[in-house]
Amino acid sequence: MKTVIKKIDASNMSSEDFKEAAELLRAGKLVAFPTETVYGLGGNAYDSTASARIYAAKGRPSDNPLIVHISEFSEIEPLVSHIPEEARRLSDRFWPGPLTMILDKSDAIPKETTGGLDTVAIRMPSHPIANRLIKEAGIPIAAPSANASGRPSTTKAEHVIEDLDGRIDMIIDGGSSDIGLESTIVDLTVKPALILRPGYITLEMLREALPDIEYDRAVLKRTKDENIVAKAPGMKYRHYAPKGDLTIFEGDIDAVSGTIKKKVLEKLEAGHVVGVLTSDELAKRYSDITNARFIHGGSNAGSKENADARVFIYDIGSRENEAEIAAGLFDALRFFDEIKAEFIYAEGFTEGGLGQAIMNRLMKAAGYHIVEV
């Protein structure tokens, strides 16, 4: 299949830009598009064949339900059996935006879209291209993250091309996703409401609207073998994982950087290619490692120059700036695949607020391989 790449400038777009994409979606075909969180792989949410195509293109297990995207609140009505008051409250505060709500589904949504469940996940993205695409298509758009199953989610069109070129009909290139981590998922079919996946909309923000909301226990899990089943089916799979062996080091930052440096030198000695995921605060502590290449997140990330380097020190941003770390995390994990890192050592970040979402993704990427130093 030939994948059409279509550039759209959000600050200067017209209906004409969306004509082909909207026609493809109405015909049951697949179009990847930018959202404020990550890129989505869209198909007609009412069409079970389109959903089947999404699972096939991603190589995703078909029991892992898709999020249905809408462009205004009234579009929720045909998708759900009833609208709880909490949904209106959350919508007033956080939609359009990086929040997904789980509600009881109507019969109009096929089980293929919801991975066999009687509930449906719904989100109203704020990205102008996503919003316009849904409007122009005139149908709700089922869209998981636009990555090959198991790989880090995609925050740029180039990432989508890496994973899905030749497997889908179109990719809309609208630049980088600002937030960089997937939406917060809230289950409103239980009381109290539960956060199934942490994201940019934090527990603290949600409590202003729903004071008794809690994390689902699976969100707080910190080891692989804790026997807790995730309520969001997607959260139980190995996810976001780079190909190399990723370990997170937590504790006092002097001890963390000291231990990472020792590990790097050991692996270097044994002839391996090593990656370090670090911050502005700790990056300089690795400056005396010979043959290392320093990458500052976003800028020259992804370029393959200096092929002689065996150690790649990737500075993702300041520990004080969680939004910057969130926005660059998946790009960093993909970078380590590109340079074929065999071992990757990451410093842990502070949990709470947006840090909860950052550590949730990083711990999954590491298969919960966390070392306290």
Q: What is the Cβ-side half-sphere exposure of residue 318, based on CA atoms within 13 angstroms? A: 2
CB of 144 to Mg ion, least distance (A): 5
Figure out which of the listed residues 37, 64, 71, 145 binds Mg ion, where binding follows CB under 5 A.
145
Helix-helix angle 157-164:322-338, to 10 degrees: 40
Binding mask 110-129 for ligand TXA (x = CB under 6 A): ----x--x-xxx-x-x----
Which entry of Mg ion, ligand TXA, none binds 57, CB below 5 to 8 A by partner kind? none
Which two structure tokens, joined as six digits, stand for 237? Answer: 């799979």
Q: Determine how many CB atoms are found less than 10 A away from the CB of residue 258.
A: 14
The piece of 18-26, 118-126, 145-153, 296-304 that touches Mg ion (CB under 5 A) is 145-153
CA angle 12, 13, 16 (to 5 degrees): 150
43 near ligand TXA, rule: CB under 6 A: no
What is the C-alpha to C-alpha distance for residues 94 and 72, in angstroms, rounded to an integer? 12
CB of 295 to ligand TXA, least distance (A): 26
71 near ligand TXA, rule: CB under 6 A: no
Cis peptide bond prior to 96, omega within 30° of 0: yes
CB of 371 to ligand TXA, least distance (A): 27
37 near ligand TXA, rule: CB under 6 A: yes
Residue 231 or 310: the one with the smaller Cβ distance to ligand TXA is: 231
CB of 188 to Mg ion, least distance (A): 21
65 near ligand TXA, rule: CB under 6 A: yes
What is the C-alpha to C-alpha distance for residues 23 and 130, in angstroms, rounded to an integer? 15
Q: Which residue is nearest to ligand TXA (CB)?
A: 234
Answer whether 102's CB lies under 8 Å from 187's CB.
yes
Name the residue among 322, 327, 318 with its Cα closest to residue 279. Answer: 318
What is the C-alpha to C-alpha distance for residues 136 and 325, in angstroms, rounded to an integer? 34
What is the C-alpha to C-alpha distance for residues 100 and 69, in angstroms, rounded to an integer? 9
114 near Mg ion, rule: CB under 5 A: no
Figure out which of the listed residues 91, 131, 183, 278 binds ligand TXA, where binding follows CB under 6 A.
183
Figure out which of the listed residues 3, 30, 32, 40 binds ligand TXA, where binding follows CB under 6 A.
40
CB of 119 to ligand TXA, least distance (A): 4
177 near ligand TXA, rule: CB under 6 A: no
108 near ligand TXA, rule: CB under 6 A: no
Which two structure tokens, joined as six digits, stand for 347? Answer: 């410093």
Cis peptide bond prior to 128, omega within 30° of 0: no
Figure out which of the listed residues 102, 277, 326, 362 binds ligand TXA, where binding follows CB under 6 A.
102
Name the residue among 19, 29, 123, 27 with its Cα closest to residue 70. Answer: 123
Answer whether 120's CB lies under 8 Å from 69's CB.
no
Interacting residues with Mg ion (CB under 5 A): 145
Residues that bind ligand TXA (CB under 6 A): 35, 37-38, 40, 64-67, 100, 102, 114, 117, 119-121, 123, 125, 143-145, 182-183, 185, 196, 231-235
